[in-house]
Amino acid sequence: MRGLMMDAPLLITTILRHAERNHPDQEIVSVTSDHERHRYRYREFADRARQVANALDQLGAGSEARIATIAWNDFRHLELYYGVSGSGRVLHTINPRLFEEQLVYIINHAEDEWIFVDPAFIAMLEKVEDQCPTVKGYVVMTSAEAMPQTSLKNVQCYETLVSAQSTQYNWPELDERTASCLCYTSGTTGNPKGVLYDHRSSVLHAYGMALPDTTSLSATDAVLAVVPMFHVNAWGFPYASLLVGAKMVFPGPKLSVPETLTDLINDEQVTVAGAVPTVWLGLLDYIRKTGRSLEPLNRTCIGGSACPVSMMEEFRDEHGVTVLHAWGMTEMSPLGVLNRPKPAQIGLAGEELREQIAKQGRAVPGVEIKITDDDNNELPWDGEAYGALKVRGYWVCADYYRLDGTAGSHEDGWFETGDVATIDPHGFLKITDRTKDVIKSGGEWISSIELENIAVAHPQVQEAAVVGHIHTKWQERPLLVVVPNPGEQPDQGELLSWFDGKVAKWWIPNGVVFVEEIPHTATGKISKLTLRNQLEDYRFPDDDAA
Amino acid sequence: MRGLMMDAPLLITTILRHAERNHPDQEIVSVTSDHERHRYRYREFADRARQVANALDQLGAGSEARIATIAWNDFRHLELYYGVSGSGRVLHTINPRLFEEQLVYIINHAEDEWIFVDPAFIAMLEKVEDQCPTVKGYVVMTSAEAMPQTSLKNVQCYETLVSAQSTQYNWPELDERTASCLCYTSGTTGNPKGVLYDHRSSVLHAYGMALPDTTSLSATDAVLAVVPMFHVNAWGFPYASLLVGAKMVFPGPKLSVPETLTDLINDEQVTVAGAVPTVWLGLLDYIRKTGRSLEPLNRTCIGGSACPVSMMEEFRDEHGVTVLHAWGMTEMSPLGVLNRPKPAQIGLAGEELREQIAKQGRAVPGVEIKITDDDNNELPWDGEAYGALKVRGYWVCADYYRLDGTAGSHEDGWFETGDVATIDPHGFLKITDRTKDVIKSGGEWISSIELENIAVAHPQVQEAAVVGHIHTKWQERPLLVVVPNPGEQPDQGELLSWFDGKVAKWWIPNGVVFVEEIPHTATGKISKLTLRNQLEDYRFPDDDAA
């Protein structure tokens, strides 16, 4: 029997309508290349989003066109978030840090029709323009006065184009499964893969994200989205903030300038911010040196890579800021788990508390998690067993764009994250490795990440990586790769004895290699594939058969 | 273009699975007729919900059967919430305060197959059993030892039936539009009308309800659901609490015993409670007399009828409890608006603050509100204009069960609430009257509720009602009906002069009638229809033509 409730689709424009009607005076503040501090209100933003939709119609963009952006976080990018998706088109956010060939690949794979670009990234596009036949033209996200010279063909100025449009637009009543955004993951192997979000998944993710045990967003919050809008939709903040009517603050091109971030936090009374650990490292360093305050800040959402416990403690003890340690993926919109206490965690202190906050957290309602062994048997939530992490839920991808059957098409409907994790009896997950980086020594698993965390704590080590390397007796053994601190020449034996008592004896690496640089991917992660290729000829000293 | 996200239906069993996996140790505490203080954990609850589903299969209940409950709030009722809906059947929660003929009407209209009943309500059913041909049998919600004698045919004991079942059950992967619950509204005119919720609306309502600017539910909360589970699903607390993993506390038959509620709040560290104003009046009176503490309590959700400002101030100033003033309807699952400040309301004080908290609140994300005039033109949000309140959204009913085309079937897809309201520029709604109770004097509208609120503040008045009454010159004028305080004989002229300066002169009633009792509906509201009928022969003193 069917219920008799209204047929109201979960649409991004429903968020926009709610925001405009209920919070017309709420502010959106941005740093941009042409504004030191741009500010307007939801009511003007909603008008502008409708002008964007009209502009796309005028440009002749198809009803399902992929509209790309290569841009920093600011009000214009937000207008495109709502104007492009709201009109039924697909917003394709491009990471400007991609290698040139990846850039060309994804523009062609997505068949982008128009590219909206910040002035800073025009040069990048000029180089590849000839290789992108689907692109009909470019819109430079700036004002007429600030319009740069460019060799790009069919170029328009965003402000000239948008401000000429009507502020009226009838948003289509789309099917909620209509694609809204496309975001490519840049894996370490193969071509980037596109995750195609839809309106339903985006709206449900916004509800899940705003919950008290997630980021706890309210109309009295001011949200600083440092995490780029080309990086999994800035973790969903652009949707969740408008859903609840929060103030939004964008750093534009200054996203890694600690002084600007500190100014914004204090001037705009920012209560919530989201960024990867490296941004916070820089900010905390700046705060230590200048003695400036982070007083308005109440909590920071940290993900993208594991957050060091020392950083969480510094935020908590020095600034009264709660760190929301989280884990997710582009394929998960991105929220998977977030570390908020349950009653049993409230009283923890000392080492127990440190162990607790080092975990990435528990499943956000709407996401299911499990860990399995090599035979896909579910492993217990005992905090000890670790296995391949699989997820499913309302905002998890089922497949990649135009790569049918790559993801989530397993018989049991779970998405393989490629991560290895433990889950404790309270449901708190801890990522221990990437599936492809875990070291399989004589049939047992060794976590490369745990070894790296120990290595970087050594006073002579600047950066460290651990990879599984061929060993005749054990199939694979851990190999430690180290970039020493400037001027230091660590001793190999001393480095390895550093692990004594910190891990099981059989986990200790069998060799050390010193390098000047460790290779990284476009998103700043260690490229273990490149590293393994570089070390192909290495042989362990104890590998007799070598 | 369709997105490529997982097809994960919004199901009540998804909430249950999440709760069981992530919060197995969380508690559910109940007062019942056979337990002074029953307690178990989510893990046992989930087992029991599956046992209920197996019991229904064993009873031969059809796959879309309506399964009725006539019961107080406790763990068994909660098991039925999940076990009945989860198995694809429809939970029909019956208000035991219904008049006998309404009871018979809704059992037959719903075609209930089985009725699960608290021992307290068996006598009620024995009287009507012969008039309910669709009912195959009864399950008494108690233990074998406490099983009462009854003349009901085909009677089973809940504990005997349920505990014999397997704790394994494969919840069906239902379409999310499958009906989950049926709840009849008892209007003042005509037969009760059934609202048929579905899984999707229930899950979305749970997300909306748990948001920080709504009830702000967390896994560290303990929720006391005083509002009956037969009254719009206890306002949705049974779903939202499990969604976030909160402790649940149920008062059973003691829902209006202030001592029990105070015990539960203190013993179980209740942080959130939900009830109608009359329950809180009794509780605050008891607290004042005994000097007991409400220390654990952080916030109370109050709706059902307008909450007096004095009560909100007493909660805030004496007990540090935030009152969440709210408005909703059975047809809205029930949440429509809730009063949480936006930045502009944070600094209010004195009379401005009192006016602010007297409002029912702003729209919960997922609900849209508007007010219209007689010609369905939308009226401005200026806090002055008042008009018919209309709503739409994810958890608003489109139609009533087996009464096709009654509700929400208007061309514009809005549900007519039957309320009259103002909405201020910040989006805060204030209910001023019921559409059918508003007094139309010479083409202008007068709010009966505003006049009643002024009248009850008079020291000699115990209860007051204001109805529109025929007047030759003005078509309709306000007539004040008063139950004086015991021993008091108020003066008619003095009572009317009480309104001077408090409302516009032309709002002041033209006459007063003193009565010993004002008629009420089954849900405790003033029955203005009955009152108007009783006063049919009254003539205003200034009605010359009378």
Distance from CA of A319 to the nearest CA of B (A): 23
A22 inside 8 A of chain B by CB: yes
pLDDT tens digits, A437-469: 889 888 788 889 889 989 998 999 999 999 999
B507 annotated active-site: no
Record the tokens describing residue A424, joined without a space: 């404790």
Indicate the angle between helix axes A75-86 and A12-22, nearest 10 degrees: 120
B331 annotated active-site: yes
Closest chain A CA to residue B208: A207
**If pLDDT is split at 50, 70 and 90, which confidence band does B404 have?**
low
- Exposed/middle/buried for residue A381 (C-beta within 10 Å: 0-12, 13-18, 19+): buried
pLDDT tens digits, A195-232: 999 999 999 999 999 999 999 999 999 999 999 999 99
> Is the N-terminal amide bond of A484 cis, ω within 30° of 0?
no
The pLDDT of A407-428, averaged and rounded, is 85
Least CB-CB distance to A341: which of B8, B197, B220?
B220
List all residues 6 or more positions away from B496 whose beta carbon is below 8 Å from its beta carbon.
B480, B508, B509, B512
Q: Which residues of A touch B199 (CB under 8 A)?
A: 3
pLDDT at A188 over 80: no
Whole-number mean pLDDT of chain B? 94
- For residue B190, what is the DSSP state? S
Q: Which residues of B touch A208 (CB under 8 A)?
A: 207
pLDDT at A340: 97
Closest chain B CA to residue A394: B8
Least CB-CB distance to B211: which of A211, A395, A415?
A211
Maximum average pLDDT range among A178-192, A531-545, B81-95: B81-95
Look up residue B8 and give its amino acid: A
B185 annotated active-site: yes
Other Cβ atoms less than 10 A from the Cβ of A282: the count is: 15
B217 inside 8 A of chain A by CB: yes
Q: Which residues of A touch B213 (CB under 8 A)?
A: 218-219, 244-245
pLDDT at A189 over 70: no
Record the tokens describing residue B357, joined without a space: 């908290």
pLDDT at A436 over 90: no
C-alpha span between B234 and B333 (Å, rounded)? 9
Question: Roughly how many angstroms between the first and final C-alpha of chain B, as a whole number?
Answer: 70
pLDDT at A404: 66
Question: Across the interface, do B23 and A342 touch by the CB < 8 Å criterion?
Answer: yes
pLDDT at B409 over 60: no
pLDDT at B305: 77
Q: Which residues of B touch A396 (CB under 8 A)?
A: 5-6, 8
Question: Across the interface, do A220 and B400 touch by the CB < 8 Å criterion?
Answer: no
pTM: 0.92
Q: What is the DSSP string of A98-139?
A: S-HHHHHHHHHHHT-SEEEE-GGGHHHHHHHGGG-TT--EEE
What is the residue whose two structure tokens read 């323009």?
A129
Question: Across the interface, do B415 and A245 touch by the CB < 8 Å criterion?
Answer: no
- Give the ipTM: 0.92
**If pLDDT is split at 50, 70 and 90, which confidence band does B434 have?**
confident
pLDDT tens digits, B326-361: 999 999 999 999 999 999 999 999 999 999 999 999
pLDDT tens digits, A280-321: 999 999 999 999 999 999 999 998 877 889 999 999 999 999
pLDDT tens digits, B209-232: 999 999 999 999 999 999 999 999
pLDDT at A407: 59
Nearest to B219 by CA among A120, A77, A338, A51: A338
**If pLDDT is split at 50, 70 and 90, which confidence band does B445 have?**
confident
Least CB-CB distance to B212: which of A200, A212, A368?
A212
The pLDDT of A405-434, averaged and rounded, is 85
pLDDT tens digits, B297-323: 999 999 887 788 999 999 999 999 999
The pLDDT of A374-402, averaged and rounded, is 94
Question: Across the interface, do A201 and B413 touch by the CB < 8 Å criterion?
Answer: no
List all residues 6 or more positions away from B291 whose beta carbon is below 8 Å from its beta carbon.
none
pLDDT tens digits, A319-375: 999 999 999 999 999 999 999 999 999 999 999 999 999 999 999 999 999 999 988
pLDDT at B405 over 70: no
Beta strands in B232-366 (DSSP E): 247-250, 272-275, 299-302, 322-328, 335-338, 362-363
Nearest to A281 by CA among A244, A241, A249, A314: A314
Closest chain B CA to residue A205: B207
C-alpha span between A374 and A391 (Å, rounded)? 16
**How much of chain A is helix, strand and coil, in % rounded to 5?**
30, 25, 45
- Exposed/middle/buried for residue B164 (C-beta within 10 Å: 0-12, 13-18, 19+): exposed
pLDDT at B64: 95
**If pLDDT is split at 50, 70 and 90, which confidence band does B278 have?**
confident
Look up residue A313 and give its amino acid: E
Maximum average pLDDT range among A80-89, B271-280, B506-515: A80-89
pLDDT at A319: 97
Q: Which residues of B touch A399 (CB under 8 A)?
A: 4
Closest chain B CA to residue A401: B4
Instruction: Give A472 or B297, the one with higher predicted confidence.
Output: B297
Q: Exactly one of A136, A436, A440, A525 is catalytic; which is it?
A: A440
pLDDT at A187: 62
Q: What is the DSSP string of A325-361?
A: EEEE-GGGSSEEEE----GGGTT--HHHHHHHHTS-B
The pLDDT of A256-271, averaged and rounded, is 97
Question: Roughly how many angstroms between the first and final C-alpha of chain A, as a whole number?
Answer: 70
**If pLDDT is split at 50, 70 and 90, which confidence band does B187 have?**
low
Nearest to A274 by CA among A249, A301, A247, A256: A301
A446 inside 8 A of chain B by CB: no
A289 annotated active-site: no
B363 inside 8 A of chain A by CB: yes
C-alpha span between B61 and B114 (Å, rounded)? 8
Distance from CA of B127 to the nearest CA of A (A): 30
Whole-number mean pLDDT of chain A? 94
pLDDT at B545 over 70: no
**Selected residues 181-200 of chain A with any CB under 8 Å from a CB in chain B:** 195-200
Question: Across the interface, do A210 and B208 touch by the CB < 8 Å criterion?
Answer: no
What is the residue whose two structure tokens read 């670790």?
A386
Least CB-CB distance to B5: which of A15, A362, A397?
A397
